[in-house]
Amino acid sequence: QKEVEQNSGPLSVPEGAIASLNCTYSDRVSQSFFWYRQYSGKSPELIMSIYSNGDKEDGRFTAQLNKASQYVSLLIRDSQPSDSATYLCAVIPGDAGNMLTFGGGTRLMVKP
């Protein structure tokens, strides 16, 4: 069974700090990786995608992928209270016909 694991949190960081969110996945041949942000009472919103090993930066967000170790992470620099949300890691396994598989999400709290 293909799985995506995240620490449920909450992860609490002070305003201005770097928040580091981690995700591990079980299917070694997974090729596509995504981060979604979900505010309380709202729907998941795609914020980052990454397909190759290394880092991908978009504003204050950096996604990191290490396929050999089967983990993907999301760094949020200069964290703001408005970043407080649940962050969902999602993976598309490499087998043909497979679909987006979500982790349980990590709740991030950024304290002023």
Partner 1 sequence: NAGVTQTPKFQVLKTGQSMTLQCAQDMNHNSMYWYRQDPGMGLRLIYYSASEGTTDKGEVPNGYNVSRLNKREFSLRLESAAPSQTSVYFCASSVRTDTEAFFGQGTRLTVV
Of 34, 46, 43, 17, nearest to 109 (Cα)? Answer: 17
Asked if residue 99 binds partner 1 (CB under 8 A), the reply is: yes
Asked if residue 104 binds partner 1 (CB under 8 A), the reply is: yes
Judged by CB under 8 A, the residue of 62, 103, 106, 108 near partner 1 is 103
Do 61 and 88 touch, CB atoms closer than 8 A?
A: no
Q: Considering only 16-24, 40-48, 59-67, 72-80, which stretch makes contact with partner 1 by CB under 8 A?
A: 40-48
Q: Where does residue 61 rank: exposed (0-12), middle (13-18), buried (19+ CB within 10 A)?
A: middle
Do 48 and 74 touch, CB atoms closer than 8 A?
A: yes
> Residue 76 CB, nearest distance to partner 1 (Å)?
20
Asked if residue 34 binds partner 1 (CB under 8 A), the reply is: yes
- Determine the 3-state secondary structure of 18 from DSSP: coil
* Positions in 55-94 near partner 1 (CB under 8 A): 88, 90, 92
Residues near partner 1 (CB under 8 A):
8, 32, 34, 42-46, 49, 88, 90, 92, 97-100, 102-105
